[in-house]
């Protein structure tokens, strides 16, 4: 049996032997921890125990039927326990987190009048504010509580400008407040125009939607575009492809880009960082772990390759091939998708000349690769056909300036054009 969580698909082994008698849920249906999914019929069924008055001597041994029923109940409880442990392990939680301790019911508080009753009834007693009647009228028309306005006049007197400034600050705060997918406006009734079908979002797609919404509403995105002449590196890729294949991998442009980006992140450490707005700090990471977006039939997954700067291109090709296969085969564990500091996404196998990838929050940058094509390039006084790769770098403008993004992407482009730079500068 396979259970799909928000992060991964987990195979749950059976702890009992027998035949599935009844399946109580449908494929793709959401289930809760502890919910019965199916019933199993064992090799030997317990005999039904008829209700009889309890014997006077309780020390007599139980009947064989009662023992068998007790054993079946214990086996069922053990199976539920194994299923529960597999589910919380896939979520990356402990039993204490999944099943928090019951809290003692709080003692009923004494009766108190609602705090807003005075405002509603118009009998709330607050200190008078120094504001003229026409200023109070303006505050009422704008829906502003005049008691919350800070006066800038003599003795804290409130003017019309103070009321307008306070109203403007409230509107600005409301616009800048991050939203949530659940707060989206209601959709129209699409069934009025034809037949529709509603399908519930499954675990990976639901988690992807929530994560991308958070990234898009949190990060001020900017995308820098550039191109790299990969004619020479394509010859090297074809030359060393058999070596990577012998090791169990595939020498791809993405594998080469992993090594190039790791070198670039050492030169530009601000791209290997995160922002902690609560503490107003920048977190520079002393390790380089790069995630690679993988397209699967269940949605987008991003396995992470750790310590990219410490591995050669053949090793990276092997690990990338292995993780991509696990992602498509639903074998990827949650731990293999954690700890990334930078992300690469490659749509070149599908097509396109450029796009704007969304930064994988809490990272601050992501590199997109599009389909390479042969273009005429002016070289040595004449046009020559060259293989050109489009590059798209999206970044967090709170930390990274446009000039730094242009330098970072140009560094990557030049490293792809002149692989010798990796041995000199990387």
Tell me: do 149 and 294 sit in the same domain: no
The stretch 227-249 carries a mean pLDDT of 93
The stretch 325-348 carries a mean pLDDT of 95
Q: Which tokens hold the place of 232?
A: 């020479």
- Per residue in 46-100, pLDDT (tens digit) is 444 444 444 444 444 444 444 444 555 555 556 656 666 766 666 666 666 655 5
The stretch 398-423 carries a mean pLDDT of 90
Packing angle, helices 133-142 and 160-176, rounded to 10: 20
* Selected catalytic residue, list 221, 306, 322, 397: 397
Q: Which tokens hold the place of 133?
A: 């009647």
Question: Alpha-carbon distance 426 to 411, whole Å?
Answer: 11
Give the list of residues 6+ apart from residue 372 with CB closer than 8 angstroms, or none: 230, 234, 253, 348, 387, 388, 389, 390
CATH of the domain at 136: 4.10.320.10
Tell me: do 141 and 283 sit in the same domain: no
CATH of the domain at 346: 3.30.559.10
Torsion of CA 165, 168, 174, 177, to 10 degrees: -70
The kind and range of the H/E element at 135 are helix 133-142
Tell me: do 318 and 407 sit in the same domain: yes
Tell me: do 155 and 261 sit in the same domain: no
For position 27, what pLDDT does the model report? 77
Tell me: do 319 and 414 sit in the same domain: yes
For position 141, what pLDDT does the model report? 81
- Per residue in 165-194, pLDDT (tens digit) is 998 888 777 655 555 555 567 889 999 999
Tell me: do 144 and 233 sit in the same domain: no
On whether residue 385 sits in a domain, the answer given is yes
222: β partners: 395
Q: Which tokens hold the place of 146?
A: 């005049």
Cα atoms in the 13 Å half-sphere on the side-chain side of 53: 3
For position 39, what pLDDT does the model report? 84
pLDDT: which is higher, 132 or 81 = 132
Distance of CA 246 to the CA centre of its chain: 35
Tell me: do 292 and 409 sit in the same domain: yes
Tell me: do 390 and 247 sit in the same domain: yes
The parent domain of residue 145 ranges over 131-162
- Per residue in 310-329, pLDDT (tens digit) is 999 999 999 999 999 999 99
Question: Alpha-carbon distance 185 to 192, whole Å?
Answer: 18
HEC string of 241-278? HHHHHHCCCCCCHHHHHHHHHHHHHHHCHHHHEEEECC
**Parallel, antiparallel, or unpaired for β 382-396 and 365-369?**
antiparallel
Question: Alpha-carbon distance 301 to 161, whole Å?
Answer: 52
On whether residue 348 sits in a domain, the answer given is yes
Tell me: do 247 and 147 sit in the same domain: no
Tell me: do 399 and 318 sit in the same domain: yes
* Letter string b/e over residues 235-273, b meaning 16 or more CB atoms within 10 A of that residue's CB: eebeeeeeebeeeebebbbbbbbbbbbbbbbeebebbbb
The stretch 374-385 carries a mean pLDDT of 94
On whether residue 171 sits in a domain, the answer given is no
Instruction: Look at residue 118 and tell me whether its pLDDT is greater than 80.
Output: no
Question: Alpha-carbon distance 160 to 151, whole Å?
Answer: 10
For position 17, what pLDDT does the model report? 79
Tell me: do 395 and 323 sit in the same domain: yes
* 224 three-class SS: strand
How far does the chain reach from its first CA to its final CA, in angstroms?
47
Tell me: do 156 and 240 sit in the same domain: no
On whether residue 310 sits in a domain, the answer given is yes
CA angle in degrees (0–180, nearest 5) for 92-93-99 = 155
Instruction: Look at residue 210 and tell me whether its pLDDT is greater than 70.
Output: yes
Instruction: Look at residue 13 and tell me whether its pLDDT is greater than 80.
Output: no
On whether residue 282 sits in a domain, the answer given is yes
Q: Which tokens hold the place of 244?
A: 């990577």
For position 346, what pLDDT does the model report? 97
On whether residue 350 sits in a domain, the answer given is yes
Give the list of residues 6+ apart from residue 191 with CB closer than 8 angstroms, or none: none
- At 363, the pLDDT band (50, 70, 90 cuts) reads very high
For position 247, what pLDDT does the model report? 94
Catalytic residue list contains 397: yes
Top mean pLDDT of 26-30, 123-127, 169-173, 388-392 is at 388-392
User: How many structural domains compose the chain?
Assistant: 2
Q: Which of 28-42, 159-173, 313-327, 404-418 has the lowest mean pLDDT?
A: 28-42
On whether residue 46 sits in a domain, the answer given is no
């Amino acid at each position: 049996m396979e259970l799909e969580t928000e992060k991964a698909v987990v195979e749950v082994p059976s702890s009992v032997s027998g035949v599935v008698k009844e399946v109580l849920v449908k494929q793709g249906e959401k289930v809760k921890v502890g919910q019965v999914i199916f019933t199993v019929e064992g090799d030997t069924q317990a005999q039904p125990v008829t209700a009889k008055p309890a014997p006077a001597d309780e020390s007599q041994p139980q009947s064989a039927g009662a023992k068998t029923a007790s054993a079946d109940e214990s086996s069922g409880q053990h199976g539920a326990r194994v299923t529960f442990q597999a589910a919380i392990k896939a979520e990356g939680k402990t039993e204490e987190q999944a099943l928090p301790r019951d809290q003692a019911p709080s003692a009923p508080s004494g009766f108190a009048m609602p705090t807003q009753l005075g405002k509603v009834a118009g009998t709330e007693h607050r200190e008078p504010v120094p504001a003229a009647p026409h200023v109070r009228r303006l505050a009422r028309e704008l829906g502003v509580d005049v008691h919350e306005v800070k006066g800038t006049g003599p003795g804290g007197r409130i003017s019309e400008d103070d009321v307008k400034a306070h109203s403007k600050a409230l509107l600005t705060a409301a616009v800048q407040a991050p939203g949530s997918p659940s707060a989206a406006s209601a959709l129209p009734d699409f069934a009025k125009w034809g037949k529709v079908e509603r399908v519930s979002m499954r675990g990976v797609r639901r988690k992807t939607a929530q994560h991308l919404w958070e990234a898009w509403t949190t990060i001020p995105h900017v995308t820098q575009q550039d191109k790299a002449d990969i004619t020479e590196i394509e010859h090297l890729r074809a030359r060393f492809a058999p070596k990577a294949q012998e090791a169990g991998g595939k020498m791809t442009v993405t594998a080469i880009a992993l090594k190039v980006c790791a070198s670039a992140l050492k030169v530009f450490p601000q791209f290997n960082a995160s922002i902690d707005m609560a503490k107003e700090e920048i977190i520079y990471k002393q390790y380089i772990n790069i995630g690679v977006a993988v397209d699967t039939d269940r949605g987008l997954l991003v396995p992470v390759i750790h310590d990219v700067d410490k591995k050669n291109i053949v090793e990276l090709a092997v690990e990338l091939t292995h993780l991509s296969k696990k992602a498509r085969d639903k074998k990827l564990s949650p731990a293999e998708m954690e700890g990334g500091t930078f992300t690469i996404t490659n749509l070149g196998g599908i097509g396109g000349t450029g796009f704007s990838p969304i930064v994988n929050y809490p990272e601050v940058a992501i590199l997109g690769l599009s389909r390479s094509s042969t273009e005429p390039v002016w070289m040595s006084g004449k046009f020559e056909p060259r293989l050109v790769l489009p590059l798209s770098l999206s970044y967090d403008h709170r930390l990274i300036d446009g000039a730094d993004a242009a330098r970072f992407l140009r560094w990557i482009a030049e490293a792809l054009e002149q692989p010798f730079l990796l041995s000199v500068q990387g």
